[in-house]
Structure 1
Amino acid sequence: MSGSERRDEIRAHLESKRAQLEATNARIEARAGRNLVFAIGSGLIFAAIFIASLFLLKGLFAVLVAALVSIALVELAAAFRTAGRRVPRVGVVLGGLVVVVGAYFWGAEGMLLGLFAGSVLLTLWRLVEGLVPSWETAPRTLVRDVFSGLFTLVYVAFLASFAVLLLSGERGEWWVFGLVAVVVSVDVGAYAAGVTLGKHKMTPRISPNKTWEGFAGAALVAVIVGVVVSLFALRQPWWVGVVLGLVVLLTATGGDLTESLIKRNLGVKDMSSWIPGHGGFLDRLDSLLPSAVGVYGVALVLGVV
C-alpha cells in the first residue's frame, strides 16, 4: 500500500469515527434536550463561582443571588413581552433587588416588606408607562401587564430570597450548599435514568423529555446525596437527609414542570441562550427557586434558622 493510500485510509477512518461520535451526541441531545458537552462545561464554571462566593464571603453570595435574580427577571419579562404582555424590565429588576436586599439585611420581615415595596414600585412604574403615550403600545393590556409583572417578581425574586434567608442560619453556608447539591442530584439522576431507561412519559404535553424512570432515578440519587449532605455537612441525623431528598425531589420536579408550562404558554423554547447547553439563567434556576423554599421550611422546623 502506497503512502497516499495509507493516508486516505486513515482519513476515512477518522471521518467515520467523527460521524459516529456526532451521531451519538445528536441522539443524546435529542433525548435529553440539551448539548451535553456545553452543559457540563458551563455547569462546572457556574459551580466554581457558586462555591467561591458561598464560602469566601456571605455578602458576595448575596451579590451573586442579586445578579442572577436580575438576569432571570429580565429573561422572564422579555418572554412575557413576546406574548404581548408589557412587563417593565427596569421596574421589575429594581423591585427584585429590593426583595433580595431586604432579605439579606432584615431577614424574613425585610423580605416580605421588600416584596410589598417592590410590588408597589413595579405597579407604579407600569402605570406611569401607561400615562406616557410614547411609551404605551397596548393600553388595554394594562391590568394583565401589572399582574404578569407581579408574578415575575414573586416567582423569581421572592423565591430566590429564601436562599438568602437560609444563609443567615446556623451553618447557613452548608445548608445552601446542601440545597444546590440535592437539586443538582435530582437533575443528574433524572437525566441519567431518563436517557438510559426512560420509556414511560411523565408529562408529555408539558415536558416531553421527562419520564417516570427518570423520576425514580432522581428520587434514588436525591435521597443518597441528601443523607450524605445531612451527615457530613449539616451535622444532622440521617433521616433529615431522607426528608431533604424527598422534599427537593418534589420541589425541583415541580419547579421544572412549572417553568416548562410557562414557556409553553408563552410560546418560547428557552428563556434565553446566554448559557451554552442550558438555555437561559432561569432555565437553570427553575428547580432551585421552589426548592429554596422547601429546604428553608425543613431548616425552620429543625430550628436552625
Structure 2
Amino acid sequence: MDDDSHGDEHTPAQHDRTHDRALNARHDIEEQLRTQRARLEAGNEKLKARTGRNLPAAIGIGIGLGGAVLVSLILIKALFMIVAVVLIFFIVFELTTAIRTAGRDVPRLPSVLVGIAIVPASFYFKAEGQWLTLIGGIVFVSLWRLALQLGSARRTGAVDLWRDLGSGAFVQIYTTFLGSFLVLLTAQNGGQWWALGTLIVVISVDTGAYATGLSFGKHPMAPRISPKKTWEGFAGSVAAAMIAGVIISIFMIHQPWWLGLVLGAVLTLTATMGDLTESLIKRDLGIKDISTWLPGHGGFLDRLDSTLPSAVVAYALYLIFATR
C-alpha cells in the first residue's frame, strides 16, 4: 500500500535530471540569442562600413522627423512653426558651435534668437517680415560681437574681428534665411502642400542617390568634397525626383504633369548643391559631421542641408505657377 501511494512521486535523482534538462534548455536558448545578436551586430557593422552610417538608427530618426513635419502640415499648418523653430534652433546652434570650434567667435545666443524670431515673422508678415528680421538679425549679432570686443578678455585683431562678423552673417544667411523660405512657402494659400511636396521630392533625391550609388556607384562626382557621391547616384536621384515630382504635381498641388518634371529636375540640382555645400563647409572646418545628435545622420544640418536651397527654389516656383 505504501509503495503504491508514493509511486507517482519523483525521486531525488529524477528531480536532478529534470533540473539539469531545464538548465540545458535555458543555456541553449541564451546561446542562440547571443549568436543571433552577434550576427545582427556583425551585419549592422558591415552595413555601416558600406554605407557610412548606422542605417537602422537613421531610418528611425528619419521617420520621427518626417512624421512631425507631416502631422503639422496636414492638420494645422500653424503647427509647422513649432517644428520649424525647433529645426532652425538646432541647425543655427550646430553651425555656430562648429564655427566656434574652428576658431571663429560667433555668438551663439543672439544667433539662435534671430533664428527663432524669423519663423513667426515669415509666417505672419510674409516676405517683408522675413527680410526685415534677417537684416535686423545680422545687425543684432554683429553688435553683440562688437560689444564682446570691448571686453579685454575677448579682444582680437581687426582681421579676426571682421572674420567673426562675416561668419556670424554667414550663419544667418545660410541657415536662418534659407530655412525660413519653407515657412514662407507654408504660409501661402495652399502653400503647405507645396512645402510637403518639396520635402518629399528632396527625400526622393537623397533616397534615389543613396540606393543607386550604393548599388551601382563607381564614378565619383566630387571626390575632393564628398568622396561617396557618384554620377550613378546622381542619375538615380534624378529619376526618383522626377517620378515623385509628377505624382506630387498631379495629386497634391494640382498642377500639370510636366511641372512635376521641372520640380524634380530643379530640386535635384538644388538638393545636390546643398549637400555638396555642407560637405565643403565641413571640409573647411575639418569635421566629419556638424554634430552627433542624430544617430545615423550626424546633426540636424546634416539632415537638412539638401532642403535649405531647395526651399528657395520651391517658393519661386510657387509664385510663378500657383499664383497665376
After TM superposition, the score normalised by the length of structure 1 is: 0.92
C-alpha distance after superposition, 1:72-111 (max 9, x if no partner): 1110000001110011001111222333332112111221
Quote the Cα distance in structure 1 between the aligned partners of 2:103 and 2:75.
43
> Structure 1: which 4+ aligned runs deviate by more than 4 Å?
2-20
Q: What is the CA distance between 1:19 and its match in structure 2?
A: 4.4
Quote the Cα distance in structure 1 between the aligned partners of 2:47 and 2:139.
46
Q: Who is 1:36 aligned against?
A: 55
Q: Who is 1:226 aligned against?
A: 245
Residue 151, structure 1, aligned to residue 170, structure 2: yes
**1:77 maps to which of 96, 108, 117:** 96
Q: What is the CA distance between 1:16 and its match in structure 2?
A: 5.7
Specify whether residues 18 and 137 from structure 1 end up closer, same or farther in structure 2 by C-alpha distance, changes over 3 A only.
Answer: farther
Question: Is the CA contact (8 Å cut-off) linking 1:98 and 1:117 kept in structure 2?
Answer: no
Paired letter, 1:121: F
Q: What is the CA distance between 1:169 and its match in structure 2?
A: 2.2
Residue 60, structure 1, aligned to residue 53, structure 2: no
**1:241 maps to which of 232, 244, 260:** 260
Quote the Cα distance in structure 2 between the aligned partners of 1:276 and 1:32.
14
SS at match of 2:269: helix
Q: Who is 1:217 aligned against?
A: 236
Residue 87, structure 1, aligned to residue 83, structure 2: no
Question: Is the CA contact (8 Å cut-off) linking 1:130 and 1:139 kept in structure 2?
Answer: no
C-alpha distance after superposition, 1:47-85 (max 9, x if no partner): 111112212222221122122111111100000011100
C-alpha distance after superposition, 1:112-137 (max 9, x if no partner): 11111111101101100111224x16
Paired letter, 1:233: M
Aligned length: 303
List gaps (5 residues or longer) in structure 2: 1-19
Quote the Cα distance in structure 2 between the aligned partners of 1:244 and 1:250.
10
Quote the Cα distance in structure 2 between the aligned partners of 1:11 and 1:33.
31
SS at match of 2:224: coil
Q: Who is 1:294 aligned against?
A: 313
Quote the Cα distance in structure 1 between the aligned partners of 2:98 and 2:280.
13
Residue 142, structure 1, aligned to residue 161, structure 2: yes
SS at match of 2:291: coil
Q: Who is 2:301 aligned against?
A: 282
Question: Is the CA contact (8 Å cut-off) linking 1:259 and 1:286 kept in structure 2?
Answer: yes
Q: What is the CA distance between 1:173 and its match in structure 2?
A: 1.2
Query: Percent identity of the aligned residues?
Result: 50
Considering only aligned residues, what root-mean-square deviation do their CA atoms show, in Å?
2.1
SS at match of 1:210: strand
Specify whether residues 201 and 23 from structure 1 end up closer, same or farther in structure 2 by C-alpha distance, changes over 3 A only.
Answer: farther
Quote the Cα distance in structure 2 between the aligned partners of 1:237 and 1:36.
36
Question: Is the CA contact (8 Å cut-off) linking 2:181 and 2:315 kept in structure 1?
Answer: yes
Quote the Cα distance in structure 1 between the aligned partners of 2:95 and 2:282.
9
After TM superposition, the score normalised by the length of structure 2 is: 0.87
Q: What is the CA distance between 1:7 and its match in structure 2?
A: 8.4
Quote the Cα distance in structure 2 between the aligned partners of 1:180 and 1:218.
14
